[in-house]
Chain A
Amino acid sequence: MDSVNIPVVEFTNLTKMYGDVIAVENVNLEVSEGEIFGYLGPNGSGKTTTIRTALDFIRPSSGSAAIFGLDSRAHSTEIKLRLGYLPGDLPIYEKMTGREFLTYLFNLRGASNWDYVHGLAERFDADLERLIGKLSRGNKQKIGLIQAFMNEPELIVMDEPTSGLDPLMQQEFYSLVEETRERGCTVFISSHIVPEVERLCDRVAILREGTLITLEEIRTLRERAHHRITLEFGEPVPISAFSNISGIRDVQAEGLMLRCTIVGSADALVKCASQFEVLSIQSEDDGLEDVFLDFYQTESHDLAK
């Protein structure tokens, strides 16, 4: 194993252009060993392009990617010996059965533990005997997941790993990721599913139009979460008293009730409310959904500040 100081994934000014179109622009980030890293962004923001550049399927227009501290172009094969990869839209060999497909990859990678592969197949209840082309989307995805984990790699890169999986299999996948992390594996996931990212990831990067607009720990993002708060007062209160609180939105008064949404800390709201008689406070958490939507929608220069 490498020293803990070397990032497992490191992008330096990574840029990829298709002709004049900039698909990924100047992305810098590091993922350290044992981290579960989420790579998010709206459709077409450049997630798949980044991953494919990092794995040397396509070449950066400028900048570079290093994996395990090794340059992704110069040491492509060494990297791939230690890597598991699940592509976005799994185009695996349709005319092979799952077993044939996994056997082939097992041999190509010089893997040694078929029992583990077998265990994964049982765990996901995967059908290894049918032609992959005849499997349903979710069942095909299971084969893809098995191959990504099967040689117990040090880094697993997955592009939308749970697409097509039913909730039961999603849970199975989450626990597999968590177990894998416990043995020191680093996981890099691109995903659109917010609860999944929230549940799994330690840190996320958000990409918009090819540019990295945020790189935060999930914990920090939670602080930006929206809270829907309902206050009940002993007497009707003037709405104006609340409208200047920072992070407050959608303030509505209705009889003795005041409803509003708070982004981030509720401290100012609570302090302001305390000048009146407060009968009850209810707070509902929206999770990170809205936080991500904010990032996806707001102009990137607003967020740069």
Chain B
Amino acid sequence: MLNNIIWKTLWDQRRSLSWWSIGFAGLIISIMLFYPFFIENIDSYAGLLQDASDDPLMRIFAGGDLLDMASPAGFINVELMAFMVPLLYVAFAITTGSAAIAGEESRGTLDFLLSNPVTRRQIILQKYGAMVGGVVILTLINVASFGVGVVIVNMEINFWRIVEATISTGLLGLVFGAMAFSLGATFGKRGVSVGITSGVAVGSYLLHALGPLVDWLEPFTKISPFYYQDQVDMTKAGLDPLHTAFFVFAGILFLSISVVFFERRDIGLG
């Protein structure tokens, strides 16, 4: 396990990764288990959903198509993919991304790591790889949790559409992780990295949620990464290539920024 920076970093995170996995799995499975009760009482929710769907404030916390909530895909989107799952992914990715360089630097161990025969570029690439690895692990956990949920409540749905939406949401989280990573690599301060990235994440979420309801905001919704997240969609197969390309491009952009600035600057002693 302890033979390179990627494995070592994931190994360091073994406890926190377990807790995140439990959190994700607990959330997904319990919401899925709630589905049959929801369908049973769908009539009593109908009015509520209609009102909520017209209320801008409700739109902040319940994205997705509220009127389509009776369908399995609609339920999963409103309850999980539109808010909670992206929120957890983004929170995990920001935490991990800012810890990668800035966290190690504020503990004073980055300096020591550099006394070993690894280049700064390798440190960036491997730390970034570990962050991606963490998101991949959680995505596997999430897909498995959805699988468990689908089987238990016997939901009629093409499981691949859920897998695609989970991957897309993981990529969305990764973009914010990459941003936190690059701020940490550039400035070496964890607070700066977490603060700025969380602010941007909240801002882009609100832009995405409220943009369609506010005329002058509408044209800007496309700069929000949330715009590019593919939710569960039964009408088309596969991830949207342009959306996915946006995420990959943003990830590579932040990685390049990290390499360039990290190679130039002084490492702090914490």
Q: Which residues of A contact B (CB under 8 A)?
A: 52, 55-59, 76-78, 80-81, 83, 85, 87, 89, 91-96, 100, 103-105, 107-110
Contact = CB atoms under 8 A, between A and B. Distances in A.
A76 B3 CA distance: 21
B12 A89 contact: no
Contact of A56 (B107, B108, B114, B269): B114
Query: What is the interface residue range for chain B against chain A?
Result: 20 to 34
Q: Which 5 residue pairs spanning A and B have beta carbons closest together?
A: A91-B108, A85-B115, A58-B266, A107-B3, A104-B2
A100 B11 CA distance: 11
Given A58-B267, A107-B4, 4 more contacts: A87-B108, A91-B270, A103-B2, A104-B2
16 contacts: A52-B111, A52-B267, A52-B269, A57-B114, A59-B265, A80-B114, A80-B116, A85-B112, A87-B111, A91-B109, A91-B270, A92-B109, A92-B112, A96-B12, A104-B3, A108-B5
B117 A81 contact: yes
A93 B264 CA distance: 25
B267 A110 contact: no
Interface string B91-126: 000000000000000011101101111110000000
A91 B107 contact: yes
Given A57-B266, A58-B267, A95 B12 contact: yes
Given A91-B107, A107-B2, A80 B115 contact: yes
Contact of B266 (A59, A80, A85): A59
B59 interface: no
Nearest to A157: B115
B8 interface: yes
A52 B112 CA distance: 10
A107 B8 CA distance: 11
B108 A89 contact: yes
Contacts of A108: 3-5, 116-118
B108 to A, nearest CB: 3
Interface of B: 2-5, 8, 12, 107-109, 111-112, 114-119, 264-267, 269-270
Q: Is the interface of B mostly helix, strand, loop or mixed?
A: loop
Contacts of A95: 12
B8 A104 contact: yes
Given A59-B266, A104-B2, A108-B4, A91 B117 contact: no
A95 B270 CA distance: 17
B270 A105 contact: no
Contacts of B109: 91-93
A55 B110 CA distance: 13
Nearest to A89: B108
Nearest to B120: A76
B260 to A, nearest CB: 15
Contact of A77 (B3, B118, B264, B266): B118
Given A57-B266, A95-B12, A105 B116 contact: yes
A60 to B, nearest CB: 10
Contacts of B112: 85, 87, 91-92
A100 B4 CA distance: 12
A229 B2 CA distance: 61
A22 to B, nearest CB: 15
Contacts of A85: 112, 115
Contacts of A55: 114-115
Contacts of A109: 116-117
A253 B109 CA distance: 58
B20 to A, nearest CB: 17
